[in-house]
């Protein structure tokens, strides 16, 4: 029990200071019937560091890591190269093992980083202000819908068919209980997203329209007309970005008039990690800031006039407003936000643009090669680093077949939209700077074989 420093002698001394005979005296308030008299039966006892390491390593080896295979999965989580210094810096104990900065005088490191993160996120998404992170993109998306309800005092949200189906699923779960009305639709396997079609759906009950950019099939479309249409009907436009690297190459949703922009930050600085922890991005215009959920860091001065940072506007939050709070969120994802911020600082604007260009060129090259394969058709001519192929047969078994050969081919729309026949031949393929030409050639030849 190497993590417990008390010795038997210490425990004895301490019990005598307390005035208790045995440790059981300190548990007298537990009803007798609920007391356990020894370690719970059926669970192993403590183990050495070496033994635990062996056990966990054996479990890890049962997985096919992304880096060990030609890899093309995206659909909301992306494999990018993270510079070594990012992980080194977030493992510094002063960041890793610090608490929420409620005592700002000895938490300026975390607070200044949060302020920098907020500033970076706001600029990237094209908004005035951002919060200091949410759990992930999907929960940030629901929080944005709730915020739009609060701002507009209307309860109907229109969700684009291009929105990640898991994000739609999260919203559906919550709406069932909160009374929000969701107008949701399925994507159509075609070249353009439903951006223009959504305009006609906006009415006097609409709180917001939610679109993803680039969308679940990798498509991008100008959001300006949709933003204007929302504003004309006093509704909000919420844009969801699941691949923020894209914003190094394409216009931000904020520039095109989105009122709230949320995102999944995972692709910058945070690894795949089988789905979490990730980092939710959340930005909006300045006038909406008091309706924003989550944690905010603000600039101020100390008693000597020196610049410093504190958590602020906490009057929106659960620890003051209790049941009237804007959200029940208490934790954010600060360590992941730190990783995001460090990676973004290393990139800078110049590096981000290069990274985005490299992703885009690689994806163009891959789409050219793959669409030469008989039985493969590129359905999305406009994209950033992710595009959708239509295969001559159902994509899901093809993906499984290729995985057995050690190729992680992409995300089949059959997995994301089970039972939707019109989508089952769709395969979403993501290409990043980690994808090599050999990877693409391997996938092409395996697809050629599988579709023959």
Partner 1 sequence: MSTINQSGWRPTTPEKGDSDTSTFTGNRALMLEEPLIFEIGSTETTGVDFDFEPGMGAYEDRLGGLARTAPIGLPGLSEPETVRHYTRLSRQNYAIDLGLFPLGSCTMKHNPRLNERMARLPGFADLHPLTPVDSCQGALEVIDQLAHWLITLTGMHAVAMSPKAGAHGELCGVLAIRAALDARGEGHRKILLVPISAHGTNPATAAFANFTVEDIPATDDGRVDLAALKARLGPDIAGVMITNPNTCGLFERDMREISDAVHAAGGYVYCDGANFNAIVGRVRPGDLGIDAMHINLHKTFSTPHGGGGPGSGPVVLSQALAPYAPLPFVEKTAGGFRLVEEETADEHHAGTFGRMVAFHGQMGMFTRALTYILSHGADGLRQVAEDSVLNANYILRSMEDLLDAPFAKSGPCMHEAIFSDKGLPEGFSTIDVAKGLIDEGYHPMTVYFPLVVHGAMLVEPTETESKATLDQFIGAFRSVAARAKNGDPTVKTAPHFAPRRRLDETLAARKPVLAYKEPAVAEAAE
| Region 148-177 residues binding partner 1, contact defined as CB under 8 A | 164, 166-167, 169-170, 172-173, 176-177
Give the contact letters, 1-30, x = binds to partner 1 (CB under 8 A), - = no: xxxxxxx--xx-xxx-xxxx--x-xxxxxx
What is the helix (H) or strand (E) element at residue 260, kind and residue range? strand 260-264
- Binding residue (CB under 8 A) for partner 1 from 70, 137, 162, 263: 137
Can residue 190 be called a binding residue for partner 1 (CB under 8 A)? no
Q: In angstroms, what is the minimal distance from the CB of 319 to partner 1?
A: 4
Can residue 196 be called a binding residue for partner 1 (CB under 8 A)? no
Residues 300-329 that bind partner 1 (CB under 8 A): 300-304, 306, 308-310, 312-315, 317-325, 327-329
Query: By C-alpha distance, which of 451, 446, 396, 448 is closest to 421?
Result: 396
- Binding residue (CB under 8 A) for partner 1 from 381, 393, 437, 445: 381
Count of positions on this chain that bind partner 1 (CB under 8 A) = 209
Q: Which is nearer to partner 1, 96 or 232 (CB)?
A: 96
Q: In angstroms, what is the minimal distance from the CB of 204 to partner 1?
A: 23
Can residue 452 be called a binding residue for partner 1 (CB under 8 A)? no
CB-CB contact of 242 with 137 (8 Å): yes
Give me 105's structure tokens: 């005088």
What is the helix (H) or strand (E) element at residue 442, kind and residue range? helix 437-451
Give me 303's structure tokens: 């008693």
Residues 240-279 that bind partner 1 (CB under 8 A): 247-252, 255, 264, 271-277
CB-CB contact of 256 with 223 (8 Å): yes
Q: Which is nearer to partner 1, 198 or 408 (CB)?
A: 408
Other Cβ atoms within 10 Å of 382 Cβ, number: 13
Query: By C-alpha distance, which of 314, 283, 311 is closest to 297?
Result: 311
Q: Is 306 exposed, middle or buried (0-12, 13-18, 19+ CB in 10 A)?
A: exposed
Can residue 60 be called a binding residue for partner 1 (CB under 8 A)? yes
CB-CB contact of 338 with 90 (8 Å): yes
Can residue 204 be called a binding residue for partner 1 (CB under 8 A)? no
Give the contact letters, 87-126, x = binds to partner 1 (CB under 8 A), - = no: xxxxxxxxxxxxxxx-xxxxxxxx-xxxxx-xxx-xxx--
Q: In angstroms, what is the minimal distance from the CB of 205 to partner 1?
A: 19
- CA atoms within 13 A of residue 115's CA, in its CB half-sphere: 17
- Binding residue (CB under 8 A) for partner 1 from 149, 154, 360, 390: 360
Residues 276-295 that bind partner 1 (CB under 8 A): 276-277, 289, 295
User: Which among 45-53, 150-158, 198-206, 227-235 is the span making contact with partner 1, rule CB under 8 A?
Assistant: 45-53
- Binding residue (CB under 8 A) for partner 1 from 8, 21, 179, 452: 179
3-class DSSP assignment, residue 377: strand
**CB neighbours of 46 closer than 8 A, spacing ≥ 6?**
1
Q: In angstroms, what is the minimal distance from the CB of 200 to partner 1?
A: 22
3-class DSSP assignment, residue 95: helix
Q: In angstroms, what is the minimal distance from the CB of 229 to partner 1?
A: 18
Q: Is 225 exposed, middle or buried (0-12, 13-18, 19+ CB in 10 A)?
A: middle
Q: Which is nearer to partner 1, 19 or 204 (CB)?
A: 19
Widest distance between CA atoms in the chain: 82
Rounded distance between C-alpha atoms, residue 361 and residue 366, angstroms: 9
Residues 396-435 that bind partner 1 (CB under 8 A): 399-400, 403-404, 408, 411, 415-416, 418-419, 433
What sign does the dihedral 114-119-123-127 (CA atoms) show? positive
User: Which among 67-75, 195-203, 230-238, 437-445 is the span making contact with partner 1, rule CB under 8 A?
Assistant: 67-75
Q: Which is nearer to partner 1, 291 or 314 (CB)?
A: 314
CB-CB contact of 326 with 317 (8 Å): yes
């Amino acid at each position: 029990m190497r993590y417990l420093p008390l010795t038997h002698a210490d425990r004895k001394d301490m019990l005598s200071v307390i005035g208790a005979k045995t440790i059981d005296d300190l548990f007298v308030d537990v009803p007798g019937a609920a007391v356990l008299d020894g370690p719970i039966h059926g669970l192993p006892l403590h183990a050495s560091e070496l033994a635990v390491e062996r056990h966990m390593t054996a479990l890890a080896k049962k997985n096919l890591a992304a880096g060990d295979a030609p890899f093309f999965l995206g659909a909301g989580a992306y494999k990018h190269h993270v510079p070594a210094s990012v992980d080194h810096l977030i493992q510094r104990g002063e960041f890793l093992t610090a608490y929420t900065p409620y005592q700002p005088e000895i938490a300026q490191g975390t607070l200044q980083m949060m302020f920098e993160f907020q500033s970076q996120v706001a600029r990237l998404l094209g908004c005035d202000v951002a919060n200091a992170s949410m759990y992930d993109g999907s929960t940030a998306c629901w929080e944005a819908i709730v915020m739009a309800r609060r701002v507009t005092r209307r309860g109907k949200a229109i969700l684009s068919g291009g929105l990640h189906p898991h994000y739609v699923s999260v919203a559906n779960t919550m709406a069932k209980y909160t009374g929000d009305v969701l107008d949701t639709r399925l994507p159509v396997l075609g070249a353009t997203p439903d951006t223009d079609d959504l305009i006609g759906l906006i009415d006097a009950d609409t709180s917001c329209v939610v679109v993803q950019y680039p969308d679940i099939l990798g498509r991008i479309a100008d959001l300006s007309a949709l933003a204007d249409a929302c504003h004309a009907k006093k509704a909000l436009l919420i844009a969801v970005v699941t691949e923020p690297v894209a914003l190094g190459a394409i216009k931000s949703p904020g520039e095109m008039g989105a009122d709230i922009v949320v995102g999944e930050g995972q692709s910058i600085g945070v690894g795949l990690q089988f789905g979490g922890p990730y980092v939710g991005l959340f930005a909006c215009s300045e006038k909406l800031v008091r309706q924003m959920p989550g944690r905010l860091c603000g600039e101020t001065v100390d008693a000597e006039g020196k610049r410093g940072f504190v958590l602020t506007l906490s009057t929106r939050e659960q620890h003051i407003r209790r049941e009237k709070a804007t959200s029940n969120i208490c934790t954010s994802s600060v360590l992941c936000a730190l990783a995001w911020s460090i990676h973004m600082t290393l990139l800078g604007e110049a590096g981000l643009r290069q990274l985005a260009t490299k992703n885009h060129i690689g994806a163009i090259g891959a789409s050219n090669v793959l669409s030469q394969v008989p039985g493969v058709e590129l359905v999305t001519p406009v994209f950033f680093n992710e595009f959708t192929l239509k295969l001559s047969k159902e994509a899901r078994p093809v993906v499984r077949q290729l995985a057995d050969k050690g190729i992680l081919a992409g995300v089949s729309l059959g997995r994301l939209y089970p039972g939707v026949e019109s989508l089952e031949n769709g395969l979403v393929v993501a290409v990043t700077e980690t994808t090599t030409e050999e990877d693409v050639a391997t996938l092409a030849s395996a697809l050629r074989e599988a579709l023959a």
